[in-house]
Amino acid sequence: MNRDTLLGIDVGTTAVKVAAFSPDGEELAAHSVPYPISRPRPGWAEQDPEQWWRATCTALRTVLSGLPDGAVRAAGIVSQVNTHLLADAGLNPLTPAVIWQDQRCAEIARELDARFTEADKQRIWGGPVTLDASFAAARAAWFARERPEAWARARWLVSPKDFIGARLTGRVATDLLSGVRIAGAHGYLPEAVELVDGLGERLPELLAPEEPLGRCAELGNAPVVVGTMDAFGAVFGTRTTEPGRAMVSCGTSLVVAAASRSSKRARGLVAFPPRGDVVVHAGPTQAAGDAVRWWSRVSGLEVPEVFASAAEGTAGVVFTPYLQGERAPLWDADVRGSFLGLTSSTTTADLSRAVLTGVAFSARHVLETVEQACGKLPSVTFSGGGGRSDLWTQLHADVLERPVERLEVLDSAALGAALLGSVGAGLHPDVETAAAAAVHVSHVFEPTADLNPLYEAYRASYDGLARVHELLAQR
């Protein structure tokens, strides 16, 4: 085993995964520890931050037990983004963490969004953004209003990876890329931070993702770098660091991203602070693997059985995966999921297939928006847990109408975290070089079916059912 081993820690929505890699991208060991999401009220989604910590410790011990002493050269951390933890000066959680799926702040976010004109948004954020329920200032305003005692005691408002990084090293810091809508190319945005009294004093310092936070005794005194959000970890772990490259990362949610030298903005997307002359334009959806888990629960099928069922199904039913609103490119907290086109002959297998296809439709919707910013993208890489299914990967190729390159390392966010660690330890000069050495394609899926009529129905359903969604949101 290569003595230069890199660890990637991914604090995801459903589990912590720790993976060990060689500098050339070979996965040497990996272990995941799951934890639940609590949904105490409609639209709410919370987690216990101490479960993140316990899961991280367990996964680290398991992976380290199979490595030689002193093998770890560095570690990086990524995590679910727009998940917010309120903690005191000792990093003790004061409330459950409000995760990215949570919609309790939707009305507050609409109020904040309405304070900015289109010209304001162009000046501050560089384009026509939407401040949604996961916006850090909306969350801070909710804490200040609904949990005033906790807000008064709070020293930190941090993301999961910053909480874990601080527990490992003793230093609290974050990165620009994770500060969606609240940080820009040169630091925190005053116009965003000043929306809530006291928010600025509770935010961590900003460092580069590859900068070491400190050393960790449990890792043989190896450095732990700041890291970034899981979506941008996947950008690094798929080599979407070069103009013209694009990715679909299919996990609990789905993220579509592409790199470009163009800074042109498209409504409904996030344009990240540039790295050199390259800008990454991306859009996250609300439910990918989460839609499969939902269908598993209501259908009574185990998740593997959902995929087996889908393989027996036929196309014809349209599923919209708006189970808890939708993020990119709609940014609509009130839209709801649906099955369309049901007949008396529709089977469970047809619905299973529709769920997988509907998630792929959401990827195409985002990809079309990404191409408005980046131009035509000839192919995409595919990673995340969804890449373990040949059927789901093929459905994405059919829906996206272009080759889909499944990567050798599907845990692209964890790989991206490890590559940031490699730069922090001096094994690579920059993450772009590290990604070029570590990211490899395992198989290319070519389009084989025309699903355009169903996709057109999928797109038409949003406007066609607008009044339905409005009425349901009033319940």
The answer to whether residue 191 is domain-embedded is yes
* Whole-number Å distance between alpha carbons of 285 and 132: 13
Tell me the three state secondary structure of residue 330: coil
User: In the structure, what pLDDT confidence band is assigned to residue 323 with cuts at 50, 70 and 90?
Assistant: very high
Angle formed by the axes of helices 348-374 and 452-464, nearest 10°: 80
In b/e form, how buried is each residue of 343-374, taking b as 16+ CB within 10 angstroms? eeebebbbbbbbbbbbbbbbbbbbbebbbebb
Q: What confidence score (pLDDT) does residue 287 get? A: 96
> Would you say 50 and 93 are in contact if contact means Cβ atoms under 8 Å apart?
yes
| pLDDT tens figures, 329-348 | 999 999 999 999 999 999 99
Helix segments in 126-237, DSSP class H: 136-146, 148-153, 160-169, 190-193, 230-237
> Would you say 204 and 252 are in contact if contact means Cβ atoms under 8 Å apart?
no
**pLDDT-above-70 percentage for the chain:** 99
Q: Tell me the mean pLDDT in the region 363-380.
A: 96
The answer to whether residue 246 is domain-embedded is no
Q: What confidence score (pLDDT) does residue 275 get? A: 86
Q: The domain that contains 39 carries what CATH number?
A: 3.30.420.40
Q: What angle do CA 179, 385, 318 make, to 5 degrees?
A: 95
Q: Tell me the mean pLDDT in the region 2-30.
A: 94
Count structural domains, the chain. Answer: 1
The answer to whether residue 407 is domain-embedded is no
| DSSP structure string for 9-32 | EEE-SSEEEEEEE-TTS-EEEEEE
Nearest CA-CA partner of 236 in 430, 370, 379: 430
> Would you say 233 and 255 are in contact if contact means Cβ atoms under 8 Å apart?
no
* Whole-number Å distance between alpha carbons of 254 and 206: 27
The answer to whether residue 471 is domain-embedded is no
User: In the structure, what pLDDT confidence band is assigned to residue 249 with cuts at 50, 70 and 90?
Assistant: very high
| pLDDT tens figures, 73-113 | 999 999 999 999 999 999 999 999 999 999 999 999 999 99
Query: pTM for the full model?
Result: 0.94
The answer to whether residue 329 is domain-embedded is no
The answer to whether residue 438 is domain-embedded is no
**Predicted confidence (pLDDT) at residue 281 exceeds the cutoff of 70:** yes
**pLDDT-above-90 percentage for the chain:** 93
Q: Tell me the mean pLDDT in the region 251-259.
A: 96
Domain around 87: 5-231
**Predicted confidence (pLDDT) at residue 2 exceeds the cutoff of 60:** no
Q: Please count the CA atoms within 13 angstroms of the CA of 165 that sit on its side-chain side.
A: 35
Burial (CB count within 10 angstroms: exposed 0-12, middle 13-18, buried 19+), residue 178:
buried
User: In the structure, what pLDDT confidence band is assigned to residue 414 with cuts at 50, 70 and 90?
Assistant: very high
* Whole-number Å distance between alpha carbons of 101 and 464: 25
The lowest-confidence range among 135-149, 274-288, 450-464 is: 274-288
The answer to whether residue 445 is domain-embedded is no
**Predicted confidence (pLDDT) at residue 394 exceeds the cutoff of 60:** yes
Q: How many residues does the chain have?
A: 475
Q: What confidence score (pLDDT) does residue 1 get? A: 45
**Predicted confidence (pLDDT) at residue 471 exceeds the cutoff of 50:** yes
Torsion of CA 153, 158, 162, 164, to 10 degrees: 60
**Predicted confidence (pLDDT) at residue 428 exceeds the cutoff of 50:** yes
**Predicted confidence (pLDDT) at residue 162 exceeds the cutoff of 90:** yes
Q: Which has the higher per-residue pLDDT, 350 or 272?
A: 350
Q: Which residues contact 298 (CB under 8 A, 6 or more apart)?
A: none
> Would you say 288 and 355 are in contact if contact means Cβ atoms under 8 Å apart?
no
The answer to whether residue 168 is domain-embedded is yes
Q: Tell me the mean pLDDT in the region 376-385.
A: 96
**Predicted confidence (pLDDT) at residue 51 exceeds the cutoff of 90:** yes
Q: pLDDT averaged over the chain? A: 96
Nearest CA-CA partner of 336 in 40, 100, 43: 43
| pLDDT tens figures, 282-319 | 999 999 999 999 999 999 999 999 999 999 999 999 99
Six-digit token string for 468:
């339905």
